[in-house]
Amino acid sequence: MEELLASPERCAGILQNRLVANMFFEASTRTNQSFQAAANRLGAKILVFHPQSGSGAKGESFSDTMRMVDGYSDAVIVRHPCEGAARLAADVCEHPVINAGDGGNQHPTQAFIDLYTVRKLKGKVGGVKVVLFGDLAHARSMHSLLYGLSMFKAKITLCSPPGLGMAEWMVEEARRKFGAKVAIEKKPDLSSADVLYTCRVQKERFGSPREADAAQAAFRVSKKLLEGANEELAILHPLPKVDEIDAEVDSDPRARYFEQAKNGVPVRMAALAMCMRGFGREGKGGRRVPGFSCKNQSCISGIEKAHWGWAEGAGLRVRCRYCERPAG
């Protein structure tokens, strides 16, 4: 797709006359704009949605809104503040649904961008040493990247402020399902790291903003942190950055986040084209587990009263169909 961008006419034939619904129920600049850019480049048309003036404001359920828009379009992109919202949308829609971020859960297309950026910069993902640095508890881009890096056999180090570590069940799943090599460190060793991936403290997911500010102040990418770091290090960030990276780091040649953001368009073009041309449909693996009630307060299942447990394969724990958090 990146090469195709040089031939706008060829690009514009790929999804010509198709219609994509862009359903953003939560603030977004980059993801929203880059999906719109991607759809436009591919020749698709876009239905734009304004949550303030939508029927949600009149009390319509999320699943009804999704069902309806599915009837108007050929694919649905959804961002929502509740975890599991994209899965619920996929269950009620006939057309492909792309998760553009579901609360603090996952942000898979961001992980595609991150993996693609690592591969472009380092020539591969397997064996590359990546430090995930920051609020690993709430940052959905970190969650998706953990899985993506694990699938491609990167060497992963997790480093977070106290209390903001990656959920144990996610780390355990990455290890068990994908054989991930994950180390957990208090301080990152950047002398041999290939990638330092950081992210803002996700203030909107904290009970107290003051707590978020304190966590951020103690955990920043500064010139000092980079003393002795690998000369070839790539510093990545999904953006927006607030003050977790010192301004002077922006001019360090190792800061590659603006380049990373630019990869958003070709990567999202690929995601749209693959979904809308029939690739990548989820298999029907797993089985329904009756009588399941998700305990995650941020999960869509509570609001939409969609309680559905799910178990895949032999010996795997039962988890919520939507936010995927395991029972218990």
Active site residues: 30-31, 58, 79, 107
| Residue closer to ligand ASP, measured from CB, 41 or 80 | 80
* CB of residue 30 to ligand ASP, shortest distance in Å: 4
Phi, psi of 112 (to 5 degrees): -60, -45
* CB of residue 97 to ligand ASP, shortest distance in Å: 17
Judge contact between 135 and 113, C-beta under 8 A.
no
* CB of residue 135 to ligand ASP, shortest distance in Å: 9
- C-alpha 244/C-alpha 36 separation (Å) is 28
- C-alpha 267/C-alpha 271 separation (Å) is 6
Alpha helices (H) along 103-255? 108-122, 140-151, 168-178, 209-217
B/e letters for 69-100, b = 16+ CB within 10 Å, e = fewer, are bbeebbbbbbbbbbbbbbbbbbebbebbbbbb
| Residue closer to ligand ASP, measured from CB, 310 or 322 | 322
| Residue closer to ligand ASP, measured from CB, 6 or 242 | 242
Helix (H, G, I), strand (E, B) or coil at 308: coil
| Residue closer to ligand ASP, measured from CB, 257 or 310 | 257
Instruction: Please choose, from the candidates 125, 90, 123, the residue with its C-alpha nearest in 3D space to the C-alpha of residue 111.
Output: 125
- C-alpha 48/C-alpha 50 separation (Å) is 7
Q: Which residue is nearest to ligand ASP (CB)?
A: 28
| Number of Cβ atoms within 10 Å of the Cβ of 21 | 23
* CB of residue 202 to ligand ASP, shortest distance in Å: 6
Long-range contacts of 185-191 (CB under 8 A, 24+ apart): 185/157, 185/158, 185/159, 186/159, 187/159, 188/131, 188/133, 188/157, 188/159, 188/225, 189/157, 190/131, 190/225, 190/226, 190/228, 190/229, 190/230, 190/233, 191/228, 191/229, 191/230
| Residue closer to ligand ASP, measured from CB, 188 or 264 | 264
* CB of residue 27 to ligand ASP, shortest distance in Å: 5
Helix (H, G, I), strand (E, B) or coil at 255: strand
| Residue closer to ligand ASP, measured from CB, 29 or 208 | 29
* CB of residue 67 to ligand ASP, shortest distance in Å: 25
> Which residues lie near ligand ASP (CB under 6 A)?
27-31, 101, 107, 110, 140-141, 199-200, 238-240
